[in-house]
Chain A
Amino acid sequence: MSSQSLESKYTEEQYSEVDQYQPATRTGKIANYVDQRVGGTGMVREFGRKVFPDHWTFMFGEVALYSFVITVISGAFLTFWFDPSMASTRYDGAYVPLQGVEMSTAYATSLELSFDVRGGLFMRQLHHWAALMFIMAMAIHMLRVFFTGAFRKPRELNWVVGCTLLLAGLGAGFTGYSLPDEVLSGNGLRIIDGMLKAIPVVGTYISFFLFGGEFPGDEVIPRLYSLHIFIIPAVILILIAVHLFMVVTHKHTQYPGPGRTERNVVGYPIGPVYAAKAGGFFFVVFGVLALLAGTFQINALWNYGPYDPSPVQAGTQPDWYIGWFDGLLRLMPGYIGDIPLEFVLPTPWGGNSVATPVLVTFIPITALLLGLFVWPWIEAWITGDKKEHHILDRPRNVPGRTAFGMAMMIWYFVMWAAASSDLIATHFSLSFNDVLIWLRVLFFAGPILTFIITKRICLALQRKDREIVLHGNEAGVIEMLPHGEFREKHTRVSDYELYTLVSYESPEVTAARPNSRGKVGLLEKSRVTLNRTFFEDRVAPVSREEYIEALSHDDHGTAAELPAGSVGAIESKKN
């Protein structure tokens, strides 16, 4: 190493400034104290007035975050009493009907939490409701992000983080659902065990290792407990931090509108308005969840009794987010006619069983979940759109995506509804065989019909937008012209509203691009087919020429009645 000079790139004054600075105000003193030790005033300066766009649909992510915080708080409370042990005990708590019954410690302490700890029942119900709300809010938030195209470049990776958060949320929900060790959750675990065992080659062993032997054993609850209170929440916390960090890096998206461009963010500064609204909103979410926990009973586990492999209740339902797995299990038939779908694969060592009816259910599950993760890249590949986007799409302006998203939603809803096929049948006095058969039909026909219908609705809405731009709104006033013709008066909308209606891109079908060897491959052909389903039917946004044409045909509007800006803009274009 050559000797280096002691010269610094900073001056002596810059170093000594820290000891000489004299703050003037009280806030300044606090800021100075903190800043001299750990820094951070830079962050306040950066974030104190950072701008966030405001829209009610941006709220669901917040709801998810706040629900998670409340699950953590209420869950921490529960851990002080709950004991996840499967050791056998004789119940001697306050709930009379179960006194003297042999049960696991996990179930006994769940009952203790509900009956003997004051506020314990409230906290248990708050925990459950908050967990349901957490996943519900995440799902709605993701739908908002999907239908407005907020996942597009540069936010694809944050979408993946969000998808992982959803999976982690499902994991947290299921592991928590199983902890009280009563009949209901025990049967839930039983179903998971059955699904695991259906996995070829490794499934049986995964089940053995999860349960520490044969189902149910006495190991599984403590194991789920570690996952539920430590590993999964840690993963969720880390992912939330990454998620929010990326939101700050990217800055929030915004809806199209006057004054908004791809280069700016229009909204309220964090301090004070946004912070007050968001902070106040935490208390609103907490309040709503507390109201639910106080007035709507959830998971009345004292009714079910300790887990026993023999009893089960008819009409039980899993937590909502697990419903579609359960529904799929019901939808898939075991036999087609008299032909069993299960078969034995002949192997030299005596054959292996393939549990087709269970395995087939993994296909839609994988398709939906995996599809969620990779959608940003699939869409970019179909559309060929590699640009950055900060302005959101109005769902109607992207009929292809909106229709596809709705189709997938309906697909999900059919699976979810199938989980309640027995309740649908009993509530509406139908044959449950018929209900299930119809749901099987809808499983295939539903998404296709939805795609077609949604696309037509989007196109119709786009036409309506064109109509408003070109002719204005119907004023509800019928005029009689001098020559006797009746017509309805139209009023033109302001430029501010107009801009929202016309400022969107409307891509057209892109032709197949030959590869380097001048050939159009199979992949490119399928891309073009998908591209065509996306963009073939298209309502173009009103062009400048069309708009000027419409203005000149406008019998009612004179230049004086029009907003000044638009006339100026149009004239400058003419010149």
Chain B
Amino acid sequence: MGEHGNGDPSTGAVIKAGEGRSSGYAIDNPGLPPHRPRLADADEKAAKRAERQVSALFLISIIGTVMFFVGYFAVGVTAGDLNMLRLQNTLLGVGVAFAMLGIGLGVVQWARALMPDHEVVEDRKPLRKEEDRAEAAQTVDEILDETQIKRRPLLRNTLIGAALLAPLPAVVVFRDLDRSEDFGPERMRHTLWTEGVRLVRDPTGTPIRASDLTVGSAVHAIPETLREVSGHGDRLAEKAKAVVLLIRMNPDDFEAVTPGREDWKHEGIIACSKVCTHVGCPVALYERHTHHLLCPCHQSTFDAAAEFKVTFGPAGRPLPQLPITVDDEGFLIARSDFTEPVGPTYWERG
């Protein structure tokens, strides 16, 4: 117990008036308020009642544990039955909750109602002692002296050099976190799109005829060559660059076309990268009425009628447009790759 430990619950105040820190406050520290006995301290009946309350809580805990077992063993979840799964989850959760809350609230109530509730005063030890510090400083000095590091600068300087270099392997050894053969930012300039690659529907892979698209429709498309990419990760990485959105609008709705892009559309069909130029979310929402494309992540808004110019939100560049045309059979194909890197801006993009 603390140095000023107060064993007698009926008194309480151990600091006498004015004893605390002498200060310029309006009144002196009056000491701890007198202890007020609880009902359970004075009345054995009240104490008994508290005892019963605590035991009742412990009993609730037991019931909770039983409920968990009922949920675990008695509820049969057949494959895909979401309702039974939900019931089981609820029984498990509520069971554990009762089991835990019963014990927790019981113990807390026990402490509050029955265990001694008189406050105890303990002195703070001063954190630092002057002589300790002096001794520590002296010890350090002696140790340094014995190493002779101050007298032999050659030792010191070579040690510093070695210590600076030694951690470098720990950094370099992580170089192979990216082992790809095409390492470097250059690969971000290319996608699977090249001249003649068909635009196919995502995810079915069926090619798209220009005549299939009605005015006002929008279709997610991927390059037909995507399915030839082997490896889950590589395929996702290629898809993450190549996804495009195909939109058919009334040809009269397009605003002025940048010189050089005159033949990038086919009739009213225009294609753009679906990867937002902000931080790369899929620009998945199309509002037919206003020709606006909206990225649901950060609400960048692009105008399909004005070559995907940004009209609102945080994106800093228009969506790259994919030049398209149709092949002999009337299927939509790419005229070339994107003419700029798709997706979020990166330092080497230039």
Please report A residues at the B interface, Cβ cutoff 8 Å: 49-51, 86-88, 94-96, 104, 115, 118-119, 121-122, 125-126, 154, 187, 190-191, 193-195, 197-201, 203-204, 207-219, 223, 249-251, 258-269, 272-273, 276-277, 279-288, 290-295, 307-316, 326, 329-335, 340-342, 344, 350-358, 388, 390, 421-422, 432-433, 436, 469, 494-496, 498-499, 502-503, 541-544, 546-547, 563, 565-566, 568-570, 572
Contact = CB atoms under 8 A, between A and B. Distances in A.
Interface string B321-342: 0000000000000000000000
23 contacts: A94-B77, A187-B281, A195-B279, A218-B236, A219-B233, A276-B110, A277-B107, A277-B111, A277-B112, A285-B104, A287-B104, A294-B90, A294-B97, A295-B94, A309-B275, A309-B282, A310-B284, A331-B314, A335-B310, A355-B346, A358-B279, A358-B316, A502-B26
B207 to A, nearest CB: 17
B124 interface: yes
B25 A499 contact: yes
Interface in B165-191: 174, 177-180, 183, 185, 187-188
B237 A329 contact: no
Contact of A294 (B80, B96, B285): B96
B309 to A, nearest CB: 9
Given A259-B29, A261-B20, A544-B25, A312 B177 contact: no
Nearest to A104: B232
Contact of B239 (A284, A308, A312): A308
* Most chain A beta-carbon contacts within 10 A, residue among B14, B115, B127, B241: B115
* Most chain A beta-carbon contacts within 10 A, residue among B1, B122, B233: B233
B24 interface: yes
B194 interface: no
B349 interface: yes
A432 B347 CA distance: 31
Given A204-B348, A280-B107, A541-B26, A125 B89 contact: yes
A49 B25 CA distance: 32
B18 interface: yes
Interface string B258-301: 00000000000000001110111110110000000000111110
B95 to A, nearest CB: 8
A247 to B, nearest CB: 13
B328 to A, nearest CB: 28
A215 B240 contact: yes
Given A122-B92, A187-B281, 16 more contacts: A95-B80, A115-B79, A193-B279, A214-B180, A250-B127, A267-B120, A268-B119, A273-B111, A280-B104, A295-B94, A310-B222, A331-B314, A357-B314, A498-B26, A541-B25, A570-B27
Contacts of A329: 278-279, 297-298, 314
Contacts of B88: 118
A353 B111 contact: no
B116 interface: yes
A104 B188 CA distance: 24
A286 B279 contact: no
Contacts of B110: 276, 280
A479 to B, nearest CB: 26
Contacts of A280: 103-108, 110-111
B100 A294 contact: no
Given A263-B21, A294-B92, A334-B316, A216 B237 contact: yes
B117 to A, nearest CB: 7
* Most chain A beta-carbon contacts within 10 A, residue among B72, B85, B185, B314: B314
A351 B344 contact: no
Contact of A96 (B80, B104, B276): B80
Contacts of A330: 298-299, 313-314
B72 A118 contact: yes
Given A273-B111, A332-B314, A312 B297 contact: yes
Nearest to B343: A194
B182 to A, nearest CB: 8
* Most chain B beta-carbon contacts within 10 A, residue among A125, A292, A309, A312: A309
B101 interface: yes
6 smallest CB-CB distances across A and B, nearest first, come from A294-B93, A194-B279, A218-B233, A283-B104, A280-B107, A287-B101
Nearest to A123: B92
A51 B32 CA distance: 15
A568 B232 CA distance: 84
Given A204-B185, A267-B120, A314-B285, A283 B100 contact: yes
A308 B79 contact: no
B27 A259 contact: no
Contacts of A215: 237, 240, 280
A288 B85 contact: no
B30 interface: yes
Contacts of B276: 194
Nearest to A330: B298
Contacts of A292: 93
A196 to B, nearest CB: 9
Nearest to B282: A312
Contact of A502 (B27, B123, B222): B27
B74 to A, nearest CB: 11
Contact of A121 (B89, B94, B111): B89
* Most chain B beta-carbon contacts within 10 A, residue among A273, A541, A569: A273
A208 B179 CA distance: 10
A346 to B, nearest CB: 10
Nearest to B294: A314
A87 B314 CA distance: 35
Contacts of A260: 20, 29
A542 B26 contact: yes
Contact of A288 (B20, B101, B122, B124): B101
Contacts of A279: 107
B274 to A, nearest CB: 6
Interface string B35-62: 0000000000000000000000000000
Contact of A272 (B97, B115, B123, B278): B115
Contacts of B106: 280
B28 A496 contact: no
B323 to A, nearest CB: 21
A284 B29 contact: no
Given A218-B231, A264-B4, A287 B96 contact: yes
Contacts of B112: 277
A348 to B, nearest CB: 12
B97 A290 contact: yes
A219 B179 CA distance: 11
B69 to A, nearest CB: 11
A209 B177 contact: yes
Contact of A203 (B177, B298, B346): B346
Contacts of B308: none
A212 B107 contact: no
Contact of B174 (A191, A209, A436, A547): A209
Contacts of B124: 251, 262-265, 390
Nearest to A307: B236
B116 A213 contact: no
Contacts of A214: 180, 187-188, 237, 240-241
Nearest to B285: A314
